[in-house]
Structure 1
Amino acid sequence: LDSLIDRLGGHTMVAEMTGRTGRLVRSANGREIIVQQRGKAEDEVEQVNVKECIRFNSGQKLVAIISDAASTGISLHAGRSFKNQRRRVHMTLELPWSADKAVQQLGRSHRSNQVHAPIYKLVISDLA
């Protein structure tokens, strides 16, 4: 996940909404990888996720990555009340086993009062 975030512009461009308490971040000089805390306890991580959601919806961050830990209770659609009204491209790397959880996750980027419907892309791989 850290490599993907790095390739997508790093933590300054990618809103991470997961249950992780730490992450690996490239240093300012680009030569070192350092461990950075996202939050010490579950409550703190949830607060970080809420702030990341706000940063994405305001346009401060252009990419959002969510896990099952953040797949409920957040809106990532191109809402009329959000500064960031760009059309969302929702790429799913891992669908939940349960259909209702999958629909819940897909619903983060497709909601009422949106400017644009999202584009869904299901990513598949031969890797097991």
Structure 2
Amino acid sequence: MNPSSKQDERIAKMIFGSVYPHYLTKVEKKNRTKEELHQVITWLTGFDDQKIQELINEKATFERFFEEASLHPHAELIKGVICGYRIEDIENPLTQKVRYLDKLVDELAKGRKMEKILR
């Protein structure tokens, strides 16, 4: 197993609910709201607030999280570098989806306008 497949496996097994508080803290530190965070998650995945909370409560992995998601048709327009990797060059589909979410949260925290984030 090469290092990137170990990383992909680690990401797949991560619990969404364990990462979510970090997303929330990141955006709130920059004067953005939980509602805005949920708006971004909803745009990418199609989940409403109730479904997001359900997945947190059920300790869903990112693998399950994105299996149940209806990815937005414009998600492939999310480009750039996140965690040192160019999103459009990530080969593993699940890892790419997680990085899409990471990128949207970063853009929200950086104060980007919602209409720009939600391509």
Same-fold status (TM-score > 0.5): no
TM-score in terms of structure 2 length: 0.29
Higher RCO (C-alpha 8 Å, min separation 6)? 2
Question: Which of the two has greater helix per residue?
Answer: 2
Question: Which of the two has greater strand per residue?
Answer: 1
**Could you say which structure has the larger radius of gyration?**
1
